[in-house]
Amino acid sequence: MNHFSKLGLSPSIIEVLDQLGFERPTPVQEQAIPLLLDNDPTDLIGLAQTGTGKTAAFGLPLIELIDTKNKATQALIMAPTRELGQQTAKMLVDFSKNNRALNIEVVYGGAPISNQMRALRKPTQIIVATPGRLLDLIRRKAVQLNNVKYVVLDEADEMLNMGFKEDIDSILSHTLEDRVTWLFSATMPPEIRKIINKYMDAPLEVSINTQEKINKDISHQYVTTKTANKLPALKRFLDLQPDMKGIMFCRTRRETKKISDELGNLGYSVEALHGDLSQGQRDAVMGRFKSRSMQLLIATDVAARGIDVNDLTHVIHHTLPDQLDSYTHRSGRTARIGKKGISLVFINTREGKRITELERKIKVKFERIEVPGYEELRSTRINNWVQSILNTKVDKRAEKILEELHGQFAHLSKEDLLQRIITTQLDQLMVKNTSEGNLNETHRESTDKRERKRDSSGFNRYFVNLGLIDGMTKVDLINFLSDVASIDRKFFGELSLQKNCAYFDVDKTKDRGISNSFRRIEFEGRSIRVNRDDDRNKRTRSSWSKQKDKSKPKNFKPHYKR
């Protein structure tokens, strides 16, 4: 028996769901579908994580409620990204395959607008769109929304995070005053409440306890290692789990490309997804990822928005996001619909408090795990090799080749033969014991300044009178310091960026004369000072940092002169 039949859906839809293998509704579907069918018209708020079946929760009732005899556009679904829009439209087309009179079109940026304008000339009852492209079509008078009765805001919090608030306001001004709005979101920040108060009237609410429903299937883990050792540590996890299929999140496109290039050159099946890729390149990367031809997709938060890939075993955080809500979005890409998954965070010794903060905010417990050691990797690699031999189906041609050998191995015992086979495989079976050794670090819970003054791993700590008020990001500042001091970026360690200054670590074998390098260096007309942090009592920094707070443009790039 198909349990969807209890939700009030028509036999036509149930037949399609049977064909697609949908038998048991998820909690959000079980709650939302009857509410939308029995209370039409009604506004609805759906609070649920990605991967909980939200598309069917609003898509199935929408298909039932559309009047297919009316050729006008009656429903609009807005999604934050091209990928999510495409996936939503495809699911709706699949759900409506028994209803030939229903036409669904998807429009998004990065594709020729002329083709989309041509497609919209046909009667289209449901439009799935990204806000930017839809506004462009409205301005070109290629789409009419004055008959839209149903508006769905999918992943509303993500749309607001991407800056679509004004676009949404503009689009909704072109729809009916008495339309209904269905809003689905993983989180409920104040900006979402503003939309609810402005556009919705006494909405019904479906709230799936995401912390219990989703996080119970995700194992939240973290490892503590030096920032410089994150890549070696990642390699060990990839070696230990060759069947891993995951996404790793980085903060910048530069990081994604650098890590992807380094791992790719070592033979790992990884690729980067970032904003410098063309849409064609992006589609090609995603095609390879979905086809399981790569182990790890390395992406920025922006580039990965809207990606919906089933069967991810891992979400890896090279660095934690600045906004802790983003962690929920990231980790929710694994453990979809009852499956298990791992969310693994790499932190340095000073970030333990952020894990505690996350535990308190999203009410989950993180398990601290160790970076695998060489013996564990060696044992795993050998066991995997043994299992691959045991599970190999013998090719019929092998028997003929064995006959052709005419007993050349007859004088060898089984042990002799195995030892020789293992010897030929040693390069593949062994893990090179480099100087990296143990990559695990001990948490530093103390915030005592004397403890932070000098890093015991071989770094000296410095002060610079540049900070956030100067429009600096961590990447900008490291690039600036590296360029002026002629020290390769890899020799910089931790960096703490504050309002009007920053503290940074430099390899003590490479920092000779670094302070002198910044004499006569000016930034925005101001002299730059760089000093060892343990020299702080020798100088008065207040005179350096009493700078006028000047607002910098959003895409500010630092300029300096000698």
pLDDT of residue 447: 38
Q: How many CB atoms are closer than 10 A to CB 524?
A: 15
User: What is the C-alpha end-to-end distance of the chain, expressed in Å?
Assistant: 77
If residue 449 lies in a helix (H) or strand (E), which one and from where to where? Answer: helix 449-453
What is the Cβ-side half-sphere exposure of residue 210, based on CA atoms within 13 angstroms? 24
CATH number assigned to the domain comprising residue 172: 3.40.50.300
Q: Give the total number of structural domains in the chain.
A: 4
Residues 411 and 489 in one domain: no
Residues 506 and 413 in one domain: no
84 falls within a domain: yes
Beta strands in 296-410 (DSSP E): 296-300, 314-317, 341-347, 367-368
| Cis status of the peptide bond prior to 41, with omega within 30 of 0 | yes
440 falls within a domain: no
Structural domain boundaries, residue 416: 374-429
Write out the chain's pLDDT in tens, 562 residues: 568 999 999 999 999 999 999 989 999 999 999 999 999 999 999 998 777 889 999 999 999 999 999 999 999 999 998 888 998 999 999 999 999 899 999 999 988 999 999 999 999 999 999 999 999 999 999 999 999 999 999 999 888 877 899 999 999 999 999 999 999 998 888 888 899 999 999 999 998 854 444 457 899 999 999 988 999 999 999 988 888 999 999 988 889 999 999 999 888 899 999 878 887 888 888 888 888 778 999 998 876 766 777 789 999 999 998 777 778 878 888 887 667 899 999 999 888 888 998 888 888 899 999 998 877 888 887 888 888 889 899 998 988 888 888 788 888 999 999 898 888 877 766 665 544 577 888 765 433 343 344 344 588 999 999 988 877 888 788 888 988 998 988 888 888 888 788 899 999 989 989 999 998 888 777 889 999 876 443 443 433 444 434 434 444 445 555 5
Residues 146 and 251 in one domain: no
Residues 133 and 58 in one domain: yes
CA–CA dist 210, 546 (Å, integer): 46
Residues 115 and 99 in one domain: yes
Residues 395 and 475 in one domain: no
62 falls within a domain: yes
Q: How many CB atoms are closer than 10 A to CB 307?
A: 20
Q: What are phi and psi of 239, to 5 degrees?
A: -65, -40
Residues 328 and 402 in one domain: no
Residues 141 and 195 in one domain: yes
Q: Which residues contact 296 (CB under 8 A, 6 or more apart)?
A: 238, 244, 245, 246, 247, 248, 263, 268, 269, 270, 316
pLDDT, tens digit (0-9, with 9 covering 90-100), for 400-432: 888 888 788 888 999 999 898 888 877 766 665
Residues 494 and 424 in one domain: no
State how beta strands 530-532 and 459-464 pair: antiparallel
Residues 360 and 378 in one domain: no
pLDDT, tens digit (0-9, with 9 covering 90-100), for 114-125: 999 999 999 999
Residues 38 and 187 in one domain: yes
Note whether 105 and 119 are within 8 A (CB): yes
State pTM to two decimals: 0.58
Q: Which of 188, 208, 228 is the last residue of a domain?
A: 208
CA–CA dist 412, 242 (Å, integer): 34
Residues 168 and 247 in one domain: no
- Amino acid letter for position 94: D
